[in-house]
Amino acid sequence: MSGLNDVEAFLAGQKDGFHVHAPEEVDVRRIRQCLNMTQQKFSGTFGFSLDAIKNWETGRRKPEAAARTLLTVIHKNPMAVLSAIGSSPEQNRKRRGRGLAAKKDLTSMGRRKSA
């Protein structure tokens, strides 16, 4: 709770020196594979370009700090990210005309992580 109070104070301009440290390295391929997603499915679900995913996974490019932070949250709690960005597996399925696999994968993965 103390941490939340610090964030609120910082956002209100009452506290200086709040710094977020993004992880230096993230294994994009591992994160994607933990979710049982193809590169295309992962990019579409979480809003990354397919080229970015390919470049990150092959080591041609490194994700920027904000992307590394988001990728870390996706790895730890993908359902929280989908909820926050206003996208659900069902909405993605309707947009792309795909089956229920994405919803089942993410829902079951969320249960495994929380157990």
Domains and CATH numbers, the chain: 26-114 (1.10.260.40)
Average pLDDT over residues 57-83: 95
Residue-wise pLDDT tens digits, 12-64: 777 666 666 788 999 999 999 999 999 999 999 999 999 999 999 999 999 99
Cβ atoms within 10 Å of 82's Cβ, excluding its own: 21
Question: Which of 21, 55, 41 is closest to 87 using CA atoms?
Answer: 41
Percent of the chain with pLDDT over 70: 66
Residue 28, both tokens: 């994009």
User: What confidence score (pLDDT) does residue 114 get?
Assistant: 46
pLDDT category at 106 given cuts 50, 70, 90 is low
pLDDT category at 86 given cuts 50, 70, 90 is confident
